Amino acid sequence: MLNVATLLENSAREHPDKLAIVFGGHIRLTYRQVDEMANQVANGLKASGVRKGDKIAVTCPNIPYFPILSYGIMKAGAVLVPLNVLLKRREIAYHLSDSEAVGYICFQGTDQLPIAEEGYAGFQDAKTCDHFWIIPTIPGADSPIQGVPTLMDLMHNQPHVCDPAATRPDDTCVIIYTSGTTGRPKGAELTHSNITINAMVTREMCGSTPDEVMLVVLPLFHSFGFTCLMQTGILAAATLVLLPRFEPAAVFAALQDENVTLFAGVPTMYWDLLNYPDASRYDLDKIAKTLRLCTSGGAAMPVEVMRKFEEKFHVPILEGYGLSETSPVASFNQLPKPRKPGSIGFPVWGVEMMVVDHDMNELPVGETGEIVIRGHNIMKGYYKRDEANDEAFRGGWFHSGDLGYKDEDGYFFIVDRSKDMIIRGGFNVYPREVEEVLMTHPDISLAAVIGVPHDEYGEEVMAYVIPELGSTITPEDIIKWSKKEMAGYKYPRTVHIVKSLPMGPTGKILKTELRKMATEPAAK
């Protein structure tokens, strides 16, 4: 038997009075309390007819209910299907139907983000989903939708003890939906073994102990937050400080007030913190002394952002790499080995990575190709997607879709997503390389590069640039400078000066949105 819920049970048994969850400065739950509430959820689900292997979808931000529900669902032997809180009715109905969820637990939300309104409408459109429970914004409040039971109704009078279901290592634990950049989102089936081993490996690499205080601002419905923070933190009996969304002021306040020791984020979060104008309001010296480690993933970390952040806050950022399909961690800059800025490090324990060409031939050191992966972290497969699985697992390796290379020391580097590569007049242009060069300019704070259609060259290079505060740099200045710094086929012919870039819920820059914006006027 192997059930991810035993991570919580073990920590609750060994450290029952240890602080497990901190939220909003006033909610502070011990490991015993979290475990008992998860048991009530499990017993409530079983009393409602939920059986081992059934799918239960959850829409919930980073609030204490998310871990409580997650472990309760696992204890019941059901499969968790976490959904993005920004999904709309049609998208929710698709996810519920595609995953064959029999139950759906949804947070009420706010007037600005009425999550439950969209969720209940999507539930009604998904004919195979039988149960809907709502989590009121105010704990203990009545259901805001007449006739719809609340999570408290589900847990009411349920026992505080529960034996977790006897799940096998290869049983599906969670189905995490991919972003759908190549069609409709696909559900990656991650097993109890996938998640447990990935959490163990991450804890070992980060050196986390019960003294760890983790700031959890990455969405828990995403694989990075779900495994690397929630599972790893619970396994280590650490304290998890939950923030429902990323705001620099809230992050600085939490770092200062809760004595946070570990912060994990995506590159744009580090950029926002670095450029937050009111950072001096907080005790940055205290934050720097308490914070022992930062980690980054989800997208490539610009070298200039890493350098400036580390200089300002005197804390190392370790960059790693993975995908939802790899549970997610596949490689990491692992202490005490030296870091290489811009590198995603080495494959983690028990995982192999290789750079290959289209015919699955391994490429020599320094040559760019697709990164393929195999090991304990690889998903069971995409749920009900036989053709996609045949494509993803060609040659017995998982094909990441990411382009990269390995250097002479064995460090891996990501060049770009294969779908983002620009082919200009027969030459390959990697947007990340152009972005890295642009961000060495003293007047450029952040840059994003895309390819746009061109009659003569097939594609042309376009850049969106956020200037440094107070800069008067023009698109013409950037193009002229770039022409001197990059090969003729690489430098951007079109530049947009912008105040912000479109970002998804995990902080990734949305290049699909930039492509939609590409018709806006710009200097050439």
| pLDDT tens readout for residues 274-287 | 999 999 999 999 99
Task: With a cut of 90, say whether residue 418 has pLDDT above it.
Answer: no
- Predicted TM-score (pTM) of the model is 0.87
pLDDT 10s digits, 315-351: 999 999 999 999 999 999 988 889 898 899 999 999 9
Task: With a cut of 90, say whether residue 181 has pLDDT above it.
Answer: no
CATH code where residue 430 lies = 3.30.300.30
pLDDT 10s digits, 149-159: 999 999 999 99
In a domain, 471, yes or no: yes
Q: How far is CA 518 from the centre of its chain?
A: 27
| Final residue belonging to a domain, choices 190, 219, 241 | 190
**Residue 42 class from Cβ within 10 Å (0-12 exposed, 13-18 middle, 19+ buried)?**
buried
| Final residue belonging to a domain, choices 190, 218, 240 | 190
Pairing of the two strands 317-322 and 329-332: antiparallel
Task: With a cut of 60, say whether residue 521 has pLDDT above it.
Answer: no
Task: Indicate the angle between helix axes 475-485 and 431-438, nearest 10 degrees.
Answer: 110
d(CA 476, CA 350): 50
* Region 26-54 average pLDDT: 97
In a domain, 491, yes or no: yes
The values of phi and psi at residue 390, to 5°, are: -60, -40
Are the CB atoms for 469 and 442 separated by under 8 Å? no
pLDDT 10s digits, 6-25: 999 999 999 999 999 999 98
d(CA 217, CA 264): 8
pLDDT of residue 183: 62
Task: With a cut of 70, say whether residue 243 has pLDDT above it.
Answer: yes
Task: With a cut of 70, say whether residue 522 has pLDDT above it.
Answer: no
Angular region, 454: left φ>0, alpha ψ -120 to 50, beta rest = beta
| Beta-carbon-side half-sphere exposure of residue 201 (alpha carbons within 13 Å) | 26
Instruction: Specify the number of domains making up the chain.
Output: 2
Find the DSSP H helices in 258-376: 267-274, 284-290, 303-313
CATH code where residue 179 lies = 3.40.50.12780
The model's confidence at residue 28, banded by pLDDT at 50, 70 and 90, is very high
* Region 455-463 average pLDDT: 87
Task: With a cut of 70, say whether residue 430 has pLDDT above it.
Answer: yes
* Region 475-480 average pLDDT: 96
pLDDT of residue 520: 62
In a domain, 46, yes or no: yes
DSSP annotation of 228 reads I
pLDDT of residue 174: 98
Range of 152's domain? 30-190
Task: With a cut of 90, say whether residue 47 has pLDDT above it.
Answer: yes
